[in-house]
Amino acid sequence: MSDNSGKVFGIAVTFCAMFLFWLLLSGMLDALHVGAGLICSLIVALISHDLLVTGKGEKRLVKAFRFFIYLGWELWQIILANFDVTYRVLHPKMPIDPVIIEFETPLRSDFALVTLANSITLTPGTITINVDPTKGKFQVHAIAQAPADALTVDKTMQSKVAKVFMEEG
């Protein structure tokens, strides 16, 4: 893939992601809102395409495809975590037992680390406190032990992010 076609690909992927996000957030499908979404998405894509689509060659398409699949999985996790937090808050005994955990991950690229940190923070009941990029070390606050175990024992989110960015060990 030449440098110019790589740039066009990055702009196209970024545009599609931003426009879909615009449609999801606005919920309006009239000509004015869709037109504004198209224009804003194009401006954002032209300015920041190199932030979303990084890397060289064929791996860009695979990473972009895997990232969109990951976003669907992450949205599902956010929904499930919302139910968990709601249950804990509305339960008469409030089974809330906050913990701060530390764990290391094999992820090393900036985008993979940021994706994992943001995914943790976007999931209700957990928040990323600190990330040491040199060691891949995370500090996370969790509302209870079960959400913490999902990060330290199951490591599903870590493995899915690793798969997206091809950093599987």
pLDDT digits (tens, 9 = 90+) for 55-75: 665 677 788 789 889 999 999
Model confidence at 1: pLDDT above 60: no
In whole angstroms, what is the distance from residue 61 CA to residue 10 CA?
A: 9
pLDDT band at 49 (very low <50, low <70, confident <90, very high): confident
| Under 8 Å between Cβ of 13 and 55 | no
Model confidence at 5: pLDDT above 80: no
| Under 8 Å between Cβ of 38 and 29 | no
Residue range 28-36: mean pLDDT, rounded: 94
Residue-level pLDDT at 45: 93
Q: How many CA atoms lie within 13 A of 69 on its CB side?
A: 11
CA separation, residue 64 to residues 8, 10, 88 (Å):
14, 9, 36
| Under 8 Å between Cβ of 18 and 45 | yes
